[in-house]
Every structure is written in structure tokens, then in C-alpha cells.
Amino acid sequence: MIKTVTTTPYDDQKPGTSGLRKKVPHFQQPNYVENFIQSIFDSLEGYEGKTLVIGGDGRYFNREVIQIALRMAAAAGFGKAMVGRGGILSTPAASNIIRKYGAFGGIILSASHNPGGPNEDFGIKYNASNGGPAPEKITDAIYARTREIKEYKVLDAPDVDLDAEGTFQLGEMAVEVVDPVADYAALMEELFDFPALKAMFADGFTMSMDSMSAVTGPYAKEILENRLGAAPGTVKNATPLPDFGGHHPDPNLVHAKELYDLMMSEDAPDFGAASDGDGDRNLVIGKGIFITPSDSLAMLSANAHLAPGYAGGLAGIARSMPTSGAADRVAEKLGIGIYETPTGWKFFGNLLDAGMATICGEESAGTGSNHVREKDGLWAVLLWLNILAARKEPAKAIAEAHWKEFGRNYYARHDYEGIDTAAANGLMDALREKLPELPGKEIAGLKIVEADDFAYLDPVDGSTSSKQGIRVLFEGGSRVVFRLSGTGTSGATLRVYIERYEDDPAKLDQETQAALADLIAAAEEVAEISTRTGRSEPDVIT
Ligand code: VG1
Ligand code: CO
């Protein structure tokens, strides 16, 4: 029943920041999916008879690829596959299932915040037995394999019914279709003070959670509405749709604008939140206040001990390099470690496994902890709720008190999307070439003290990653960072990260873009953004 199929390699299956992402028609080329999945299996050792977790964010093409992955896993010799009912598993829920059931690894089908549909994006990523994204040494091996693959193996068998829970047989492999929400909800109940949250909702606390027609809908409904008693309708866009209702499931101020406008209005509920396609990102907005993800990381870290799961304190905090330094000040005060990694959750895995960091975060709306090995959107929302319940203060008061205590890192990210790849590479190359002559120079009235291309030495396994983003540091601790996205599927996306630290109590209440105006001008001047990209303004500002 196992067929061996001859194939030829594709040359563009290099995993990016988080797995392989391409347009659906690209994935639909003959053997494109099969080549990549076989290359994953060929790069692993010792999985025979073990368990593979499979699930996705429900986007277009999810079900088809799950069937292919199941037939190939059976042919490869896995003993069992655990699949979320309906093919659904959020990224953090998949990470939890891998860990909880001691699976060998998992395949998660998602292009996260990228849009879905017949002509939109799809993605495949592999997570290892710690539940986290495959580290670079595995993704490099997968890529190398895709360049030379000659055949793949697949079981000749009909589709598995993904909509009925239970255990089925697929050749020699068992397929268990599981409730996608139950294990995850149980984990959240262990970490957070559900009775206190229930009491808070019973006392009239209101919130709006936008699941963006993506994967967190069923999770948020079960946890917020069913278990915590939030009013029905608290979770909006709660049904995962293959095309996310035609929107980008990207919880930022552009794509979750409705929520933002509501939270800034007179009728705002007490708290607002949103999550992305695969449920690993979060957007949190208090009544009348947007909290940047970098600030959220700092504020959650400073208050985490108020939640039962973190009552013993934190071992350390890790943040990606472009994330603001707000968390560093919290770590310093708590006397715990702070780690700065390249962009992408895969770099946090070793720090979490080694017990060096408890909470991790990225400026791109990703926050998480050692409870799984992925960032976790709903976890961040629940930790915020737990803190609100414990402190009995609104988010705005908590944020303002935080800035008073630690100072404020004004922060923004400017994205230039879908720009010409050659122009984007040219911009980065030119910046790289300029690096040695930048220190000491003055641009837009600001003095540069240091400039480098971020390289990371993993303190746990000694691996190194270079060219992870260009940093230009100014006198006084302000900085701009430039890097190219590793998750886009058309052209290139330039990300410019801008940060200024302010501890003058009289200057903690400025409008962000105004507080950053001179740095924005400096970024333009040093990188020649408009001449090189032909864009006078970013597409997205967060
Ligand atoms: C982006 C974010 C990064 C995040 C990655 C995956 O990567 O900047 O912080 O880890 O997306 O997130 P890039 O290379 O485009 O900047 V998710 O939620 O899209 O899986
Ligand atoms: Co995501």
C-alpha cells in the first residue's frame, strides 16, 4: 500500500522566519507539498513508531495538506498522528499537545498573519519534540534536502474523516482526531486564577476579543465566554474561515482598526484584544490606551507574579533584538537575566528549555512563556486579565504607573511592504557597507554612537546567526533598526524599528510618532528609503 513516487527538487523551499510560506497556487504545483514534507521527515531521525501532531489554522488548502501529511506520515513509519478536529490547531495549542503527549514533533499548517484564500498564502512549519519551532540546524537540513530530493513515500489510502473525534487506522499508523481546545483550555486554567477572572466578569467587567475569523475563535469562546462567563458576543469573528473573511488576520492597528476605534471611543469596554491567523500573536488595547507589544512584554513581566502560574517569579526575560528595551529595565529591577535574540520564536527555545528565561516577547505582537514553546496570543490576553483582576485597576493606570516607575520606550515599526526585492537588498547592502563610517556622524541632528549588523551567539548550544538586522544607535540610547522580513510571499518587506527612551516625568505622555519624528527622519536619511524603494510612506505603522 506504500507508493514510492519519483520527484524533482524545487529550488525555493527555504524556510523563513517561521516555516515555508508561499502563495497557494505555488504550493499546488506538482509534488511541491510532498517534496517539502518528505524533506522534513528525511531530516529527522528516530521517529519510527512515535507520534506526530498535525493541525493548522483552518485557512484555504489546510484540509488537503493535512490528508497528504497523514498519508506520508503513515508511509514514513510514524506510529500515531494526533490531528485537531476539523484540521484545527492553533500554533500554541499544537505546541502544548506535542509536549503534553510526548510527541516526536508536529507539522503546523499556517501562514500566520498573512491572508488566506485560493490565491493567498499558505505555510508549513515543523516543530520539534520540545514543542517549539525547529531550530536553524533542522531548517537548514530540511532546505538542503529539498535541493536534492528524488522520491517520496505515500500511503495509498482514502481520506481520514477529520470531523469526527476518535481513533482511526491509516495503514499501520493510528490517527487520533482530538478536540483542539480541551488540552489548551486546561493548561490556561492551571496558569491563571480563573475564579478571580470569573468574579471580575460577574462584577460587570466587559471586553471585546476580535478573533479575526481565524483560529482562536473556538479557543476564546470556550475560555472567555463558557468558562469565565464573559457576555456572549465578547468574542467577535469567532468562526475560523478559509479566507479569514477576506481580511488579513494580522492584529495590528491597520487590520484591527475597528477594535482600536472602539477602544478609543466613549463606548469602549474595559479591555480589548485580538489575535492572528494561527493564534500565537496578541494585540491588547486598554480603554483609551494602545499598549505596544514591547511595553506589554515589560508590563506582563513586571506583574506576572500576580498569576498563580508565575507566583514563584521569573527566571529571566528574553526579547528579540528589534523589540524595545522596556523589558530590560524590568529585568534589571527584578535582578533576573535578560536575553536578546534574533527575530523569530525559534531562538527562544533553547533559553526556555534551559530554564534561563520564563517570559519571551517580540515587538510583532508575540508574547509567551515556558508553558509552551511558541508565542501564545490568548495566554497574553489571559495574563493581562489576571493582572487587571489582581490589581483592580484599569490597563491605562497600570501602563502609566509602569512608565513612571521605569521610564517609557517610545516605539514604532514602519513596514514597507511588497517592495522590489533587488531594491530592498540594495538598501540593506548599502547600509552594511556604510556601517564602519557611521559612528561619530550626525544625521537629522542626532549623533550616532554605534552601528552594527546584529549577530547572535546562542548561550546554550553555541550556535551563531549573523546578519540579523542593522542597528544604528544614537546618543542617549535611541536607535533605529533595519531588517527584511522573512515571512512575506511577494517581493520584499522592509521593517524599520524606531525607539527612544524617555524618563522625564513631564514627557511620558507624548504622541508616539511625534516623539520619534527626528529618529524617523534619521532613518530615512541614513537608509535612503524613499529614493531606494520609491515609497514616501510606510504601508503599516505599528
Ligand atoms: C514576523 C515578525 C516576527 C515573528 C514572525 C512570525 O517575521 O517580525 O517577530 O516571529 O513574523 O510570526 P518577519 O521575518 O516577517 O519580520 V507569525 O505569528 O507570522 O508566525
Ligand atoms: Co502567527
Residue nearest ligand 1's atom 20 by CA: 112
pLDDT band at residue 490 using 50, 70 and 90 as cut-offs: confident
Top pLDDT among 253 and 181 is at 181
Q: Whose CA is nearest to atom 18 of ligand 1?
A: 112
Judge whether residue 528 has pLDDT over 90: yes
153 pLDDT more than 90 = yes
Is pTM, for the whole model, over 0.85? yes
Which of the 8 DSSP states describes residue 480?
A: E
Ligand 1 center–CA 483 separation, angstroms: 12
Is the pLDDT at 189 greater than 90? The verdict is yes
Q: Which runs of E-coded beta strand occur in 171-236? A: 173-178, 207-210, 235-236
45: Cα separation from own chain's centroid: 27
Nearest ligand 1 atom to the CA of 486 is 14
Of 97, 27, 96, 94, nearest in space to 65 by CA: 27
The verdict on whether 369 is a catalytic residue reads no
CA of 344 to the centre of ligand 1 (A): 6
pLDDT tens readout for residues 433-471:
999 999 999 999 999 999 999 999 999 999 999 999 999
- How far apart (Å, rounded) are the C-alpha atoms in residues 470 and 480? 8
Q: Which ligand has the nearest atom to the CA of 364?
A: 1
Packing angle, helices 377-391 and 91-100, rounded to 10: 90
For residues 238-271, one letter each, b for 16 or more C-beta atoms within 10 angstroms of the residue's C-beta and e for the rest, the string is: bebbbbbeebbbbbbeebbeebbebbeeeebbbb
* Average pLDDT for 195-201: 98
Looking at residue 417, what is its pLDDT?
94
Strand blocks (E) in 128-249 = 151-155, 166-170, 173-178, 207-210, 235-236
* Ligand 1 centre distance from Cα of residue 198 (Å): 33
How far the first Cα of the chain sits from its last, in Å, is 52
Which of ligand 1's atoms lies nearest the C-alpha of 114?
Answer: 19
Mutate to test the pocket of ligand 1, among 17, 323, 494 (most ligand atoms within 8 A of CB): 17
Selecting among 90, 95, 112, 369, the annotated active-site residue is 112
Ligand 1 atom index nearest CA of 365: 9
Dihedral, CA of residue 155, residue 160, residue 166 and residue 170, to nearest 10: -10
Q: Which candidate, 166, 228, 154, places its Cα nearest to that of 388?
A: 228
The pLDDT value given to residue 488: 84
Please name the residues in contact with 266: beta carbons below 8 A apart, sequence gap of 6 or more: none
Dihedral sign, Cα of residue 93, residue 96, residue 100, residue 106: positive
- Closest residue by Cα to atom 17, ligand 1, is 112
Contacts of 48 (CB under 8 A, 6+ apart): 77, 78, 79
Record the cell numbers describing residue 233, joined without a space: 458576543
- For residues 179 and 97, give the distance between their C-alpha atoms in angstroms, rounded to a whole number: 11
- 243/279 Cα distance (integer angstroms): 15
pLDDT in tens, 291-321: 999 999 999 999 999 999 999 999 999 999 9
Pairing of strands 121-127, 105-109: antiparallel
pLDDT band at 162 (very low <50, low <70, confident <90, very high): very high
Q: Which atom of ligand 1 is nearest to the CA of 375?
A: 18
Percentage above 90 pLDDT, the chain: 98
The pLDDT confidence band at residue 418, using thresholds 50, 70 and 90, is: very high
Å from CA of 343 to ligand 1 middle:
7
Cell of 405: 516607575
Compute φ and ψ for 525, nearest 5 degrees: -70, -45
pLDDT band for position 489 (50/70/90)? Answer: confident
The residues that bridge with 473 in the sheet, in sequence order, are: 450, 479
How does the average pLDDT of the chain come out, rounded? 97
- What pLDDT is recorded for position 515? 96
**Mean pLDDT for the stretch of residues 265-272:** 97
pLDDT (mean) for 232-250? 96
- pLDDT tens figures, 321-363: 999 999 999 999 999 999 999 999 999 999 999 999 999 999 9
Residue 344 alpha carbon, nearest atom of ligand 1: 10
Of 18, 340, 490, which is best to mutate to test ligand 1, by the most ligand atoms within 8 angstroms of its C-beta?
A: 18
Atom 2 of ligand 1: nearest residue by CA position = 364
Which of ligand 1's atoms lies nearest the C-alpha of 345?
Answer: 10
Name the closest-CA residue to atom 8, ligand 1.
364
Q: For residues 138 and 44, what is the distance between their CA atoms, to the nearest angstrom?
A: 8
The reported pLDDT for the residue numbered 63 is 98
Burial letters for 133-144: b for 16+ Cβ neighbours within 10 Å, e otherwise? bbbbebbebbbe
In angstroms, what is the span from residue 338 Cα to ligand 2's centroid?
A: 24
The predicted model gives 4-10 an average pLDDT of: 98
Cα–Cα dist 305/303, whole Å: 6
Number of Cβ within a 10 Å radius of residue 233 = 9
Ligand 1 is surrounded, with C-beta below 6 A, by 17-18, 112-113, 276, 280-281, 320, 343-345, 362, 364, 366, 485-487, 495
Q: How far is the CA of 372 from the centre of ligand 1 (A)?
A: 18
Contact 296, 367 (CB under 8 A): yes
Beta strands in 112-150 (DSSP E): 121-127
Residue 131: HSE in the Cβ half-sphere, 13 Å Cα cutoff: 24
pLDDT per residue over 111-133, tens digit each? 999 999 999 999 999 999 999 99
Q: Are strands 359-362 and 151-155 parallel, antiparallel or unpaired?
A: unpaired
> Which residue's C-alpha cell is 542626532?
446
| 160 touches 54 (CB < 8 A) | no
Helical axes 395-406 vs 377-391, angle rounded to 10°: 90
Task: Report phi then psi at 132, rounded to 5.
Answer: -105, 165
Residue of the CA atom closest to atom 19 of ligand 1: 112
Report CA(140)–ligand 1 centroid distance (Å). 18
> Residue 236 above 90 pLDDT?
yes
Q: Return the beta strands (E) in 305-398 as ranges.
A: 316-320, 337-341, 359-362, 366-369
156 CA from centroid of ligand 2 (Å) = 33
> Is the predicted pLDDT of residue 100 greater than 90, yes or no?
yes
CB-CB contact of 370 with 357 (8 Å): yes
Atom 13 of ligand 1 has which residue's CA nearest to it? 485
Q: State the pLDDT at residue 135.
A: 92
CA–CA distance, 87 with 183 (Å, rounded to integer): 16
In whole angstroms, give the CA distance from residue 451 to residue 513: 23
Of 414, 487, 489, the residue with max ligand 1 atoms within 8 A of its CB, to mutate for a pocket test, comes to: 487
